[in-house]
Structure 1
Amino acid sequence: MKKILLLLFLCISFCQFAQQHKKSFRVIAFYTAQHDPAHISFVHEANKWFGEMAQQYHFSYDSTNNWDNLNTKFLAQYQIVLFLDTRPESDTQRAAFQAYMENGGAWIGFHFAGFALTPSQYPQNWDWYHNTFLGSGQYKGNTWRPTSAILKNEKPQHPATKHLPKTFASSPNEWYSWSNNLRNNPDIEVLLSIDTTSFPLGTGPKQHEIWHSGDYPVVWSNKKYRMLYINMGHNDIDYEHGNNQELSFQFANVTQNRLIIDTLLWLGKSAKKR
């Protein structure tokens, strides 16, 4: 009888332990990491950081540079998709991602994942993604060098930004501007933008890469989808001396990290409800 009770106790204890440590949702990150050293640096940093956060917050994190995995069968295993640096290029991959999002999937895109410029290696040849889904249209310009900006929390009630202060200093980043005015799109909800106290933003030497005024959203969501775009994702690199030394890191910023963690938990929680 004692043996039976002991076995029963061990079984209950194991089940409780397993339940407590059960992965609440699964995340898959797609990346390329082949060209710009700043983007490659961010991808390596992101894969390490997300792996650590997965252990801490009890979700599953995988990553792949095989964009052919962007198919219906593979995506069905995951509740959240990340694009760390680029976007899918084939029609098949794009169709699978659009179907995933239109059927309740969740997505977080970083920095270069929103880039499109015609002509370039990444032309604006995907209207649904850049105009409907992101709402930003083409890349228009950027600041240089990567510098920290004071970011303004425009939606403190949103699940992704509810733990952020009214303003905070970001990690150094190359900031993008866009061809479309996001504020004219009723589907787009701007969460963070560059505060006017940041200006002038950038150090040059090209004068058009130093911003002195303007409205620049940097984090937003499309209310028709479960998604968030985050413009951060470009580490500062010592290009000038040819050694590509990393001079800054995105995930060295605790406040900025809170944004990403809360976004994951928000999207993961809603996925669990589904």
Structure 2
Amino acid sequence: MARKLLALLAMLAATLVPVSLSATSSAQAAPFKVLAFHNGTWDPAHIAFVNEANPWLTRAGQENGFTYESTRDWNRLSTLTPAQAQVVIFLDDAPTGAAARTGFQRYIEAGGGFFGFHVSAFTQNANEWPWYHNTFLAKGNFVSNTWGPTTAVLKVETRTHPSTLRLPEKFTSAVSEWYSWDRDLRQNPNVQILASVDPSSFPLGTDPDQTWRSGYYPIMWTNKSYKMIYANFGHNAMDYAANRPLSSTFASATQNNFLVDSLLWLGGGGTPPQGEWKTVVNRGNGKCVDAAAAGLNNGTVIQQYACNGTTAQNFRAVATTDGYSRVEYRNDSAKVLDVSNVSTADNAGIHLWTYGGGTNQQWRVTTGADGYSTITARHSNKCLSAPASSADGVQLVQATCTGSAAQSFKIG
């Protein structure tokens, strides 16, 4: 946190949460190494974060094709090259020694990747290391922070960056303390802001004296002159008296997607892998979910049709938030299954529409022990359903979930 008076206690361990990661196996990602630096000695909230981050990132690497190592030896930066580690992470601090700072700048200028969490950007004297604080991170000095730690609704400002491809228009972060800076990143042409605090978050904070009530606050950004991303999360809520963490930085599956996809981009230079294209076959009539006439336009009817192996019958689920996914169409992955007119009524038709983050464009896929799945619309809690007719060309609809064969699909 931002120098609020706290008891400096030793942290035993942080509660671990499951790793919610990319939709595909690590075999699709190019192998690379991530080397994280930390102190893990100041502020129990930061210690709690480090203690959960190290095992979480280790597992993330195992599932996404990179190796992860953490160290307290900041002097390793003095000779580090991108060939030795493709990505460097600062978990809870930044280097203070001259040799480590010079080596880090040399590493970055040689093409190394960087991901910085929360307090790695904190300073009230940016001119003490101007390249890092003013040029590289571009944010200058710390100005204020929220308190206590809370979630925030974040608005995704750049949805075409490799790190944000799986993010909706808005999402709720994990709990953190949030920082503001004395430089307006919007005025820097080298900075691309990835996400900022959405106004719906205000008031942000629980202490009246440290609450944001309005304003513009960037949370995640990249400097286009370098291969880097900074994210302002990484401070757990704490019961300081009991030395016990009350939250996890990895509690938001959507935020986790951003973190993993950021590392994949930093380490490999590419976009995160997506799921395989699959057919969706109705249990009741054996017909495939199909885009009429292989259409590409908004409003193209999603119908049932005899399975024919064409790409008009190929779809994939891409995670959004809270266990829901958008269902993308192979012939134009920007188009997804959409309940027309955001209707919550039975028999509302399903069509293609450009994804915009709407809850009528998100679905929960629940697969039973028999291998068949129900597909439930987020906004209405109604199930994707085949019509009573078994004829080709009849539009699929949503309907109250009944467990019938018309609402059961084999995905594969």
* 8 A contact 2:80–2:107 mirrored in 1: no
Max Rg structure: 2
Relative to 1, partners in 2 of residues 1:265 and 1:23: Cα closer, same or farther, differing over 3 Å?
closer
Aligned to 2:355: none
Relative to 1, partners in 2 of residues 1:193 and 1:269: Cα closer, same or farther, differing over 3 Å?
same
* 8 A contact 1:199–1:213 mirrored in 2: yes
Query: Identity over the aligned pairs, expressed in percent?
Result: 48
* Structure ranking higher in strand proportion: 2
1:69 Cα deviation after fit: 1.1
1:117 Cα deviation after fit: 1.2
* Correspondence 1:79 to 2:86: yes
The whole-number CA distance in structure 2 between the counterparts of 1:190 and 1:74 is 27
1:269 Cα deviation after fit: 1.6
* Structure ranking higher in helix proportion: 1
Give the unaligned 5+ runs of structure 2.
1-26, 271-412
Pairs aligned (count): 246
The whole-number CA distance in structure 1 between the counterparts of 2:106 and 2:81 is 13
Secondary structure of the 1:158 match is: coil
* 8 A contact 1:23–1:60 mirrored in 2: no
1:71 Cα deviation after fit: 2.1
Relative to 1, partners in 2 of residues 1:73 and 1:201: Cα closer, same or farther, differing over 3 Å?
closer
* 8 A contact 2:29–2:64 mirrored in 1: no
Secondary structure of the 2:250 match is: helix
Secondary structure of the 1:89 match is: coil
Aligned to 2:101: 94
Aligned to 1:14: none
Aligned to 1:208: 209
Q: Where in structure 2 are the equivalents of 1:36-55 lying within 5 Å?
A: 36-55=43-62
The whole-number CA distance in structure 2 between the counterparts of 1:230 and 1:23 is 23
Aligned amino acid, residue 225 of structure 2? K
Aligned to 1:63: 70
Aligned amino acid, residue 129 of structure 1? Y
* 8 A contact 2:90–2:117 mirrored in 1: yes
* Correspondence 1:34 to 2:32: no
The whole-number CA distance in structure 2 between the counterparts of 1:102 and 1:117 is 25
Secondary structure of the 1:29 match is: strand
Q: Where in structure 2 are the equivalents of 1:1-274 lying within 5 Å?
A: 24-73=31-80, 76-118=83-125, 124-204=127-207, 207-239=208-240, 242-270=241-269
TM-score (norm 1): 0.86
The whole-number CA distance in structure 2 between the counterparts of 1:84 and 1:115 is 12
Secondary structure of the 1:252 match is: coil
- RMSD, aligned CA: 1.9
The whole-number CA distance in structure 2 between the counterparts of 1:159 and 1:32 is 30
1:208 Cα deviation after fit: 3.4
* 8 A contact 1:116–1:124 mirrored in 2: no
Relative to 1, partners in 2 of residues 1:203 and 1:90: Cα closer, same or farther, differing over 3 Å?
same
Secondary structure of the 2:225 match is: coil
The whole-number CA distance in structure 2 between the counterparts of 1:56 and 1:29 is 18
Relative to 1, partners in 2 of residues 1:156 and 1:244: Cα closer, same or farther, differing over 3 Å?
same
Secondary structure of the 1:81 match is: strand
Aligned amino acid, residue 160 of structure 1? S
Partner deviation per Cα, 1:158-211 (whole Å, 9 max, x = no partner): 11011001001111110000011111111111000000000000010xx33111
Give the unaligned 5+ runs of structure 1.
1-19
Partner deviation per Cα, 1:90-136 (whole Å, 9 max, x = no partner): 11100000000011110000000000014xxxx75100000000000
1:75 Cα deviation after fit: 5.8
Q: Relative contact order: is structure 1 or structure 2 higher (C-alpha 8 Å, sep ≥ 6)?
A: 1
TM-score (norm 2): 0.58
